[in-house]
Amino acid sequence: MSEYRDHRTFCSTHHSEGIRMNWKDVDTTNCGIAACADLFGDRWALLILRDVFAGVTRFGDLQRHTGASTAVLADRLRRLVGAGILRETAYREGRARSRSAYQPTEKGLGLVPVIVALAEYGYAFLMSPEQRIVSYLDARTGERVRTALVRGDGTEVAPGDLAFDVSPGALAPGYTAPTSRGAGRTRD
């Protein structure tokens, strides 16, 4: 992994017209990271997704495996179903009452790389190697997989080479375009 040039500027920020700007001049009200934090909020939603992706889909099994209380599990499942990430299905064993199981939707499957990236980060930086409980493999070849930043043509991009392309609608109120003297300025 490459080293960052400077922790304050590991990603450069550009206006969609190619103008270099300061991230502080961006209105982050509609940030995708904030939207995900609102949805996931705590560990339970991530643990539920981990388990559902691994095939643990029934409410009772999810509760036992994650350790979440009934109320917490029901709330997080309701949120994930409401967001279109999971789909609730009914099943019945014998004459028992109908129970719920959960399956990822196409939208939910889009989170698989996120869950893998979080797990790999945890194994790399938060745990010792002997604590690893799982590795992620290509089911067809058995080779280990990893997440990466990749351009449209498949070329990998180092974190230090990442730039943020800021849409025009995300400029903070009062921001004016850069002048010939340098960076954009915020009007007082």
Secondary structure (3-state) at 139: coil
Under 8 Å between Cβ of 93 and 60 = no
- Would you say residue 117 has pLDDT above 60? yes
In the predicted model, what is the mean pLDDT of the chain?
85
CA dihedral 120, 88, 55, 37 (to 10 degrees): 10
> How many structural domains is the chain composed of?
1
The mean pLDDT value for 4-32 works out to 66
Instruction: Report if residue 183 sits inside a domain.
Output: no
The mean pLDDT value for 19-24 works out to 73
Instruction: Report if residue 30 sits inside a domain.
Output: yes
Residue 71's CATH number: 1.10.10.10
Instruction: Report if residue 147 sits inside a domain.
Output: yes
pLDDT grade, residue 178 (50/70/90)?
Answer: low
Under 8 Å between Cβ of 59 and 51 = no
Instruction: Report if residue 2 sits inside a domain.
Output: no
First to last CA, the chain: 42
- pLDDT higher for 58 or 3? 58
The mean pLDDT value for 163-168 works out to 80
pLDDT of residue 160: 86
pLDDT grade, residue 128 (50/70/90)?
Answer: very high
The pairing of beta strand 163-166 with beta strand 12-15 = parallel
pLDDT grade, residue 47 (50/70/90)?
Answer: very high
pLDDT of residue 51: 98
Pick the range with the lowest mean pLDDT from 110-114, 142-146, 169-173: 169-173
- Total Cβ atoms within 10 A of residue 3: 8
Instruction: Report if residue 38 sits inside a domain.
Output: yes
- Would you say residue 181 has pLDDT above 50? no
Instruction: Report if residue 7 sits inside a domain.
Output: no
- Would you say residue 80 has pLDDT above 70? yes
The residue segments making up the domain with residue 117 are: 12-175
pLDDT of residue 16: 58
- Would you say residue 97 has pLDDT above 60? yes
Instruction: Report if residue 132 sits inside a domain.
Output: yes
pLDDT of residue 93: 87
Reference 51, options 95, 103, 89; nearest CA is: 103
As a whole number of Å, the CA-based R_g of the chain is 21
The mean pLDDT value for 7-25 works out to 62
Q: CB under 8 Å, gap of 24 or more: what pairs does 153-156 form?
A: none
Instruction: Report if residue 68 sits inside a domain.
Output: yes
